[in-house]
A = this chain, B = another copy of it.
Amino acid sequence: MTQRFSKPNNFADQTVSLAHGNGGRFMRELIEQIFVRHLQNDLLDTNADAAFIPLADNLTELVVTTDGFTVEPLEFPGGDIGSLAVHGTVNDLAVSGATPLYLTLNTFIEEGLELKVLERVVQSMALACKACNVKIVAGDTKVLRRGQGGGIYFATTGIGQRISKKRLGLKQIQIGDLIILSGSVGDHGTAVMLAREQFGLSGTLKSDAASVLPITQALQDLDGLRFMRDPTRGGVATIVHEIAQVIKCSVRLYEQTIPVNEQVKVVCDLLGYDPLYMACEGRVLAVIAPEFAAQAVNKLQQLGYFESAIVGRIEEGRAQAFLETELGGERILQELEADSLPRIC
């Protein structure tokens, strides 16, 4: 890592663009070249959803994660920025094999925001905390001048304790493992986009925003479980691309078995988006040894996640992800680059 960033950068007159925030290549480079380059240490792993930090007593291992929330509009079908700020961080702990316990909350409010909107959002946050059994233990509030904020931005940091006996992570993935998805892709991103009404489209689609704790708790004791992640910014395609790069393997997705909501399909077709790159906020992508994959899907379906399915496979080959289409062709899933859809989560 050190060698990679040993040359000082010359950023000259470069500026930050929206693509630096979309979860794809530019964002990865920004994080590597500026944040990791200066802030790296033995506990910071930008390929993980959460950090595992040992405490002095050597008995307890904390799991820590953090996430910022900037979704626009603040309230959308199926959720709002308040519940999202709880679920997003709870989910990062959940997919890391941890029980979420505590949250801290940062609020940035724009001058002029209606107090009743703020209250609705905080109330929704409280309900989500209760449902996930987490407590907000510390908070801070800043007010931004009109025009310097987008209504509300939240940042939540989550602290949990590890429950999974084995460590999960990208590096546990092996050739031959199967990929399962707990539900349909792209509902959140598409629902938020529709809620903006900027495309002249509307629909009944709801965000999938929810806690994934029931899913991760069902999966985490299965033998053969290697890795879990919630596909948020950059969607499922971004995760499988990362798997391919880190494991140096091919990742094959089966278009035929990937659950996609009909409305998501139609809207994405119309606007030229690919559901595989759209954010989910209540789904889990898991990688599991082949002999346990059917059992995992079964377990999820029994819990009511009826769309859960085996959607792909880890294969030997070039480090790339591709989609086996319904017609039998293959399409490479490139790393996300430009994308004009900011403030989706």
Whether B145 pairs with A68 at a CB distance below 8 angstroms is no
Of the stretches A135-143, A235-243, A245-253, A330-338, the one at the interface is A135-143
Chain B: minimal CB distance from A62 (Å): 7
Whether A14 pairs with B138 at a CB distance below 8 angstroms is no
**Contact of A106 (CB < 8 Å), options: B66, B110, B122, B126:** B66
Find the B residue at minimum CB distance from A26.
Answer: B143
Residue-wise, chain A 134-158 has the 8 Å CB interface mask toward B (1 for contact) of 0111111111110111100101010
Report, nearest first, the 4 A-B pairs whose CB atoms are least far apart.
Answer: A21-B143, A11-B115, A157-B157, A106-B155
Chain B: minimal CB distance from A86 (Å): 10
Chain B CB within 8 A of A27 CB: yes
Contacts of A140 in B (CB 8 A): 66-68, 155
Chain B CB within 8 A of A55 CB: yes
Chain B CB within 8 A of A2 CB: no
**Contact of A41 (CB < 8 Å), options: B18, B64, B66, B136:** B136
Find the B residue at minimum CB distance from A106.
Answer: B155
User: Could you say how many copies of this chain the assembly holds?
Assistant: 2
Q: For A112, A136, A157, A342, which residue has the most chain B Cβ atoms within 10 angstroms?
A: A157
Which residues of A are at the interface with B, using a C-beta cutoff of 8 A? 9, 11-18, 20-22, 27, 30-31, 34-35, 38-39, 41-44, 46, 50-51, 53, 55-57, 59-60, 62, 64-70, 101-102, 104-116, 118-119, 122-123, 125-126, 129, 135-145, 147-150, 153, 155, 157, 159, 161, 342-343
The answer to whether residues A21 and B155 also contact, given A9-B119, A66-B104, A108-B68 and a CB cut-off of 8 A, is no
Whether A44 pairs with B147 at a CB distance below 8 angstroms is no
Taking chain A's interface residues, is the majority helix, strand, or loop, or is none over half, making it mixed?
mixed
Pick 10 A–B contacts, CB within 8 A, sort by A.
A15-B113, A21-B144, A41-B136, A43-B102, A51-B137, A53-B102, A55-B60, A57-B59, A106-B106, A148-B150
Whether A39 pairs with B143 at a CB distance below 8 angstroms is no
The answer to whether residues A15 and B161 also contact, given A102-B64, A137-B43 and a CB cut-off of 8 A, is no
Tell me, in angstroms, the Cα distance from A69 to B144 when the chains sit together: 11
Whether B51 pairs with A143 at a CB distance below 8 angstroms is no
**Contact of A112 (CB < 8 Å), options: B16, B113, B159:** B16
The answer to whether residues A115 and B64 also contact, given A135-B44, A138-B50, A155-B155 and a CB cut-off of 8 A, is no
Whether A18 pairs with B64 at a CB distance below 8 angstroms is no
**Contact of A34 (CB < 8 Å), options: B15, B20, B53, B122:** B122
Whether A144 pairs with B67 at a CB distance below 8 angstroms is no
Whether B141 pairs with A38 at a CB distance below 8 angstroms is no
